[in-house]
């Protein structure tokens, strides 16, 4: 091993490069310039007298003989995070932040509307709500908690199903007046729909319209479910929406509610090393509470409640 003490800052740089698989991405995450990251990795390799990283076509990867070191650094980070959690709880009027990532509809039309419940359940915690259309990499700290429509099945994560919701077909009064309403599922072929842009879909779970009708005629495409909802309100066609997206939107009526609907699960994922952090547990408690209290609404059996 080379001369000089090994500094946590250098270990943290190595950890971030390992997570990101890129010097550039790690530098951006750490708010350092590219050359500083390279210099710190070189210094760490010199002091340890071992090569830590390899460049591949898929990016930078940790060498096999450095994997054990990486595990130790991850444990160090876990202890440091736990210490920060304890210190934050001990501070007067300390506000802790937890980043939750999920899809646009859940973020904008559900969780954001239920944030007053967080004020009651965990007043010292604030949520950063990230709306994102694809899988989030919690190992790279893109978020602390990920709400998804599928079980990620990834090493290092704890994932559990926390809710189920239903989607129904909706259209505007104007569309119904102009085109009539289908009497049954077979008559859906005579109508036009609003839907996603197929080649931009990162998650197969949102291909819900295909479960209602085979090869629907689409009059308007958007990667935004909020835009789809607005287009349907404007009379562009029939749209399939989760109950929480359609709730409170003036001008929409359900189409064939007793004959056509689709179900989806909601999964909550957290990094294993963060499970016991008080701030994470507080948000998990909040999310579990709102989804549990809203279970009938989410399944289309009850109306939206202003408070849960």
Give me the pLDDT at residue 234, please. 97
Number of structural domains found in the chain:
3
pLDDT band at 185 (very low <50, low <70, confident <90, very high): very high
Q: Which of 45, 68, 87 is the last residue of a domain?
A: 87
Assess if residue 26 is contained within a domain.
Answer: yes
If asked whether residues 80 and 109 sit together in one domain, one would say no
Cα-Cα-Cα-Cα dihedral of 116, 118, 122, 127, to 10°? -120
Q: Which of 71, 87, 103 is the last residue of a domain?
A: 87
* Residue carrying the six token digits 């959690």: 85
Give me the pLDDT at residue 276, please. 80
Average pLDDT over residues 259-280: 92
Assess if residue 199 is contained within a domain.
Answer: yes
Give me the pLDDT at residue 157, please. 86
If asked whether residues 175 and 229 sit together in one domain, one would say yes
Assess if residue 129 is contained within a domain.
Answer: yes
If asked whether residues 58 and 204 sit together in one domain, one would say no
The tokens of 60 are what? 């930078």
CA–CA distance, 156 with 225 (Å, rounded to integer): 31
Q: Which of 55, 87, 119 is the last residue of a domain?
A: 87
Assess if residue 245 is contained within a domain.
Answer: yes
If asked whether residues 64 and 208 sit together in one domain, one would say no
Average pLDDT over residues 188-213: 94
Q: SS3 of 5, please?
A: coil
pLDDT band at 169 (very low <50, low <70, confident <90, very high): very high
300 pLDDT higher than 80 = yes
Kindly write down the DSSP assignment for every residue of 183-249, as one continuous string.
SSGGGGGGSEEEE--GGG---GGG-THHHHSSS-EEEEE-S-HHHHHHHHHTTS-EEEEEHHHHTT-
Model pLDDT for residues 75-131, shown as the tens digit of each residue: 777 666 666 555 555 554 567 999 999 999 999 999 999 999 999 998 999 999 999
If asked whether residues 40 and 179 sit together in one domain, one would say no
Assess if residue 82 is contained within a domain.
Answer: yes
If asked whether residues 152 and 169 sit together in one domain, one would say no
Give me the pLDDT at residue 136, please. 77
User: What predicted TM-score, i.e. pTM, was given to this entire model?
Assistant: 0.73
Assess if residue 212 is contained within a domain.
Answer: yes
Give me the pLDDT at residue 46, please. 86
Give me the pLDDT at residue 170, please. 98
Model pLDDT for residues 18-57, shown as the tens digit of each residue: 888 888 888 887 888 999 989 988 988 888 888 889 888 8
Any idea which of 41-50, 168-177, 214-223, 289-298 has the lowest mean pLDDT? 41-50
pLDDT band at 292 (very low <50, low <70, confident <90, very high): very high
If asked whether residues 109 and 152 sit together in one domain, one would say yes
If asked whether residues 159 and 171 sit together in one domain, one would say no
If asked whether residues 285 and 204 sit together in one domain, one would say no
pLDDT band at 245 (very low <50, low <70, confident <90, very high): very high
Higher pLDDT, 86 or 217: 217
Assess if residue 2 is contained within a domain.
Answer: no
**Count of CB atoms within 10 A of residue 9's CB?**
11
Give me the pLDDT at residue 73, please. 80
If asked whether residues 122 and 237 sit together in one domain, one would say no
* Structural domain boundaries enclosing 282: 94-163+265-294
If asked whether residues 168 and 279 sit together in one domain, one would say no
226 pLDDT higher than 70 = yes
Give me the pLDDT at residue 1, please. 53
Higher pLDDT, 238 or 65: 238
If asked whether residues 241 and 252 sit together in one domain, one would say yes
Average pLDDT over residues 270-287: 90
pLDDT band at 151 (very low <50, low <70, confident <90, very high): very high
Assess if residue 217 is contained within a domain.
Answer: yes
CA–CA distance, 40 with 93 (Å, rounded to integer): 36
Could you tell me which of 123, 161, 154 has the C-alpha nearest to residue 140?
154
CATH at 187: 3.40.190.10
Average pLDDT over residues 211-223: 95
């Amino acid at each position: 091993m080379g001369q000089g003490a090994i500094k946590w800052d250098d270990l943290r740089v190595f950890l971030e490069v390992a997570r990101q698989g890129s010097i550039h991405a790690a530098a951006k995450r750490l708010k350092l310039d590219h050359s500083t990251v390279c210099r710190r990795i070189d210094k760490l390799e010199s002091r340890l007298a071992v090569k830590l990283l390899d460049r591949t076509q898929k990016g930078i990867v940790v060498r096999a003989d450095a994997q054990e070191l990486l595990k130790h650094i991850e444990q160090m980070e876990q202890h440091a995070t736990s210490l920060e959690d304890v210190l934050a709880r001990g501070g007067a009027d300390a506000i802790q932040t937890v980043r939750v990532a999920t899809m646009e509809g859940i973020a904008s039309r559900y969780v954001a509307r239920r944030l007053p419940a967080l004020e009651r359940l965990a007043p010292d915690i604030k949520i950063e709500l990230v709306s994102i259309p694809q899988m989030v990499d919690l190992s790279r700290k893109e978020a602390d908690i990920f709400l998804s429509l599928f079980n990620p099945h990834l090493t290092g994560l704890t994932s559990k199903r926390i809710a189920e919701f239903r989607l129904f077909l909706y259209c505007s009064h104007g569309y119904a007046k102009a085109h009539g309403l289908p009497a049954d599922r077979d008559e859906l072929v005579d109508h036009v729909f609003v839907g996603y842009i197929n080649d931009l879909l990162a998650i197969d779970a949102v291909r819900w319209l295909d479960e209602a009708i085979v090869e629907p005629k689409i009059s308007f495409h958007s990667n935004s479910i909020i835009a789809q909802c607005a287009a349907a309100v404007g009379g562009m066609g029939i749209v399939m929406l989760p109950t929480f997206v359609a709730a409170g939107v003036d001008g929409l009526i359900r189409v064939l509610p007793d004959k056509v609907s689709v179900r989806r699960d909601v999964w909550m994922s957290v990094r294993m090393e963060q499970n016991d952090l008080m701030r994470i547990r507080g948000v998990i408690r909040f999310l579990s509470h709102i989804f549990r209290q809203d279970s009938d609404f989410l399944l289309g059996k009850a109306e939206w409640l202003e408070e849960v």
